[in-house]
Structure 1
Amino acid sequence: MTTIQSHVEEIEHVASGGTSVRDQPVVQSWLRCLNDYKLDPSAPQRAYIVPHATLREHQEQAEELIRISRSGLSTLFDHVAEQNYVLLLSDARGVAVDYLGHPRMDRELRKAGLYLGAEWSESRAGTCAVGACMASREAVVIHQDDHFDPTHTGLSCTAAPIFDTLGDLAAVLDISQLCSPTAKTSQQLALNLVTATARRIELANLVARTRDEWVLRLSRLPDFLDIDPDAAISLDGSGRITGMTHGGFDALRRAVGMQVPATRALLGQPISRFFDLEIDDLPRYMRGRPAGERLLHANGEPLCFASAMSPAKPHARRAAAASQPLPGALSALSFGDAHMDAIQHRAARFGARSIAMLIQGETGTGKEMLARAIHESYGRRGAFIAVNCAAIPEHLIESELFGYVPNAFTGAAKSGKTGLIEAADGGTLFLDEIGDMPTALQSRLLRVLSEGEVTPVGGHKPRPVRLQVISATHRQLAELVAEGRFREDLYYRLNAATLRLPALRERQDFDALVNHLLRNICDRYDEEYRLEESACRILRQHDWPGNLRELRNALEVGCALCENHVVKAADLPADVRHGESRGSGLSIQLAACDGNVSELARRLGVNRSTVHRRLKREGSS
């Protein structure tokens, strides 16, 4: 039996560069404990259970994942309960937010730290399965004296990571025993079970978060494709990747045959970049055909089997949409584009329940227009208050948002000032460019959203507020969270529902949209303008990096410069006219690819449908 002294000596031997029979993840963890955390293996520490209030905070932040995981945990526990295993679901900070164990062993489990609220981060507990899994992002077995701290050397623990749809570590699933008289190899079954359960939880989480998007499930073998796939990827209506399981990330890397640094590098990419697949092909991969026939190819070579899940109850949603007209201003945002139609209906559902929304999209795609339409469509008694978090100087944004009491600071008005948040009481608070909000204010905003009350600068008495919160950004908030520049808890509070506006170049209702904007100009100036065909052709060929804002400005300029109320090509802005050559250039590039649209799409970094759309505008197809 290993003594504390021999255990310490072995760790010191490894630290000095000596060889070890231990698994490499164990050795690496020991070195982190010594070099990074400055832990002492000769100083045993009792297992740490966080205070109840702290546990509640961790559970609230992981509430949705706990709910989604519960079924998988229960099934796993039913398989291993007789072997006296305990299950812990720890969040990304190592705190056990859910737990399944034997009530008769409650006292011993709590003492050992195999209990709800236990913190198993490496920096606190030393080498352990949860902590090593968090550090390596891989499944691990930490058996008996693999543990760094002598307090835990009787335990046998196996853990697997659970990633969210953006590729970030969301949780760790751990299966442990108080004691195991057998060798470490006996835990291989436990490793397989916990890894499979983690994979199923990731899939359930992806499906739950993307109910209105396609989900493409992947498997190397067809036998369990529809019931227990290896991986999954979610796609929006234009066929762009919006999320994936960790196995989905691996499948995409294999498809392109190269190293991809992070999951986020794949988000927003067309699925056609990785597989010989377009969004219109997905119905062919749905249930109804034998799984063995649903083979997915990449670059002409078979890669895996695929099963497509359509957006939740699409027929029921279409029927409901047809029988329930969109309210007010929301109905004026789309002129036949399928993606925009879906956004309108989702916004209507969310707006009716005052669900917090995050609107994403390129600059100029109409994020504030959508937010105003949601506000106006539901007749809220309060005002629509728009705050551009990037435009207000950092030293003023706190007082602007929260207001201040009389004489709160030097230069403050004697009567005080009502903040923009309080001004939106009963209405809608639109936080544009939320990604640029200073981190110091993010915690204060989180409290407003959590507690429904705001405290002015210099004040002590909070004031209740009830409002619809809509935020918007052209940046990737998830990346800011990973970089520590945006609070994760605020991100999930704002991101209850996401609406992604398509770029203008992706919209299918371009001509109708141009006519609508031109009609607005005509009504404003009480004049009748029309576009000459040469001007229409240029507008169709331009890529519109400024989106709706750029298009609106181009039409304004054209109408101001035209003669006899007919807008010709020469009347349009110069940077838009330069797009006239892009169509012919596309035809030349297509010819250089021997007419292969897929090859041209790969060279341009777009999907095939985009190439077809541009060619159609040019008149070449």
Structure 2
Amino acid sequence: MPGKGNAGRAHHADHVYAILNDGSASAHSAVAASWSRSLTHYGLDPDNAPPPRGLTHSEFRSAYDRMELLVRLAQGTLDRLFQSVGDAGCCVLLTDGAGVPLDRRGMVGDDADFRAVGLWTGMVWSEKSEGTNGVGTCIAEGRALTIHRDEHFLTRNIGLSCTVAPIWDAQGRLMGALDVSTCRADLTPAILKLVASATREAAHRIETHHFRETFRDARILIGPDIGSGPAGLLAVDREDLVIGASRAARLAYGLTDERLRNPFPAGDLLDGEGARPQEALASAERAAVRQALSRAKGNVSAAARSLGISRATMHRKLDRLGVGRET
């Protein structure tokens, strides 16, 4: 397996301790902060760590069953992502919220190397178990990141480069992570940036699939692009009441579980302050009349029958609402 030389491995622990002895380092460096957690919170030693821990067959089966929907919805996205990065010597891992890979993609010729370092289904890549690493630190911090080679805490992991994006469920909770990892040392910073972008986009697609499946009977509205991430998704029922929001939408609109517990008009979010009740009622009535006319191809009598009203009442509504019609 390509990796860091023996000299680099011998000095990695010294480098970690030197950084952590600088009292201000963890306040200014995300990697140093994770190293500090690895040492002080989890009691890990860079040079003396047991082999990667794997779940038993029954433990893995339970973890997989809990996340079966996520795995199923992610299949096409995992395939497309691997097609983009596989030739660069990368594997793709889909993990649960505990950092356990549930599904993976990899080149057959690279599988022995990946299995040897624990980049395999059923292994535990939490920060508590492996210290600073792509999957575990992504989950701990709830953000996309790359842990490149000697940024890992454990010396045995410094031959890896891991780019990871979190995956959020339909209630805005972190449910897993998408990881692209390689054992190769020759990937340039430019290639790693492309890998990071592809990984984030793939994670967003999986989130979207999960949100749409969770609210499969609702209408899904896409919020405006705020320039700092994916556009938020809103689930709206037949009465145009918001019944769900993705994490991006929750952040964009300041939505909480408490606010979403009681459905409210989508217009209150999308139209700023929202329409006054009388305006909202007129708008809903106008929409119903126009839809009925559209389905009836402009036939007023047929549209009136579909709404359960008389032709005369329909004409009065058309005049009052200012809706055009065929004669």
Report the CA distance between 1:27 and its aligned residue.
1.5
Give 1:212's aligned residue: 217
Map of 1:197 onto structure 2 = 202
Report deviation, 1:218: 2.6
CA distance in 2, matches of 1:89, 1:15: 31
User: What secondary structure does 1:192 align onto?
Assistant: helix
Say if 2:148 is the partner of 1:143: yes
Return the TM-score normalized by structure 2.
0.75
Contact 2:47-2:156 at 8 Å conserved across structures:
no
Q: Tell whether the 8 Å contact from 2:167 to 2:178 is kept in structure 1 after alignment.
A: yes
Deviation at 1:240, TM superposition (A): 3.7
Partners of 1:175 and 1:219 lie apart in 2 by 29
> Equivalents in 2 of 1:13, 1:267: separation in Å?
48
Report the counterpart of residue 249 of structure 1 in structure 2. Answer: 250
Deviation, 1:19, is 5.8
Tell me the residue number matched to 1:230.
231
Question: Residue 257 of structure 2: which of 243, 258, 264 is its match?
Answer: 264
Higher relative CO (CA 8 A, sep ≥ 6), structure 1 or 2? 2
> For the Cα contact (< 8 Å) 2:71–2:103, is it kept in 1?
yes
Please name the residue that 1:72 is paired with.
77
The answer (yes or no) to whether the contact 2:25–2:33 under 8 Å persists in 1 is no
User: Within 2, Cα distance between the matches of 1:272 and 1:180?
Assistant: 52
Question: Which residue is 1:122 aligned to?
Answer: 127
AA paired with 1:275?
Answer: L
Q: Which structure 2 segments of 5+ residues have no match?
A: 287-294, 296-327
Residue matched to 1:101 = 106
Question: Cα offset for 1:65?
Answer: 0.7
TM-score by length of 1: 0.41
Superimposed CA distance per residue, residues 375-398 of structure 1 (whole angstroms, 9 cap, x where no aligned partner):
xxxxxxxxxxxxxxxxxxxxxxxx
Instruction: State which of 47, 54, 58 in structure 2 corresponds to 1:49.
Output: 54
Amino acid at match of 1:234: A
Aligned residue type for 1:264:
D
Matching residue of 1:474: none
Secondary structure, aligned partner of 1:88: strand
Partner secondary structure for residue 153 of structure 2: coil
Name the aligned partner's letter for residue 253 of structure 2.
Answer: L
Q: Give the C-alpha shift of residue 273 in structure 1.
A: 3.5
Structure 1 residue 181 displacement after superposition: 2.3
SS at match of 2:179: strand
Q: Deviations over 1:142-162 (max 9, x none)?
A: 000010011110000000000
1:173 alignment partner, one of 178, 184, 190: 178
Quick one: structure 1 residues 120 and 38, their matched pair in 2 at CA, closer, same or farther if it must change by over 3 Å? same
Return closer, same or farther for 1:207/1:51 CA change in 2, 3 Å cut-off: same
| AA partner of residue 157 (structure 1) | C
Deviation for aligned residue 1:18: 4.8
1:39 corresponds to 2:40: no
How much has 1:45 moved relative to structure 2? 3.1
Question: How far apart, CA to CA, are the structure 1 residues paired with 2:183 and 2:93?
Answer: 13
Q: Write the deviation string for residues 97-143 of structure 1: whole angstroms up to 9, x where unpaired.
A: 11111122222211111111121001101111100011110001000
Could you tell me which amino acid in structure 2 is paired with residue 274 of structure 1? L
Asked if the contact 2:218–2:235 (Cα under 8 Å) also holds between the matched residues in 1, the reply is yes
Distance 1:80 1:182, change over 3 A: closer
Q: Is the 8 A contact 1:241 1:266 kept in 2?
A: no
- For residues 143-542 of structure 1, the aligned pairs below 5 Å read 143-182=148-187, 184=189, 186-220=191-225, 230-253=231-254, 263-268=256-261, 270=264, 271-276=266-271
Maintained 8 Å contact 2:89/2:184? no
| Cα separation, 2, equivalents of 1:132 and 1:184 | 20
Deviations 1:62-92 (A, max 9, x none): 0011001111111111111111110000001
Residues 45 and 149, structure 1, Cα contact 8 Å, conserved in 2:
no
Give distance in 2, aligned partners of 1:91 and 1:232: 22
**Cα gap change, 1:3 to 1:249, in 2 (>3 Å):** same
Percentage of matched positions with identical amino acids: 29
Q: Which has the larger radius of gyration?
A: 1
Work out the CA distance in 2 between the residues paired with 1:79 and 1:130: 20
Once the two structures are superposed, residues 520-550 of structure 1 have per-residue CA deviations (whole angstroms, 9 ceiling, x without a partner) of xxxxxxxxxxxxxxxxxxxxxxxxxxxxxxx
Aligned pair in 2 of structure 1 residues 152, 141: CA closer, same or farther (>3 Å)?
A: same
Quick one: distance in 2 between partners of 1:58 and 1:14? 36
Instruction: Kindly report the root-mean-square deviation, in angstroms, between the aligned alpha carbons of the 2 structures.
Output: 2.8
Tell me how far apart the structure 1 counterparts of residues 26 and 9 of structure 2 sit (CA, whole Å). Answer: 18
Instruction: Name 1:609's counterpart in structure 2.
Output: none
Structure 1 residues 3 and 18: alpha-carbon distance in aligned structure 2, compared to 1, 3 A threshold: farther
Partner SS, residue 38 of structure 1: coil
CA separation in 1, counterparts of 2:26 and 2:173? 32
Task: Say how many residue pairs are matched.
Answer: 270
Matches within 5 A, 1:53-64: 53-64=58-69
1:98 aligned counterpart, secondary structure: strand
Deviations 1:318-374 (A, max 9, x none): xxxxxxxxxxxxxxxxxxxxxxxxxxxxxxxxxxxxxxxxxxxxxxxxxxxxxxxxx
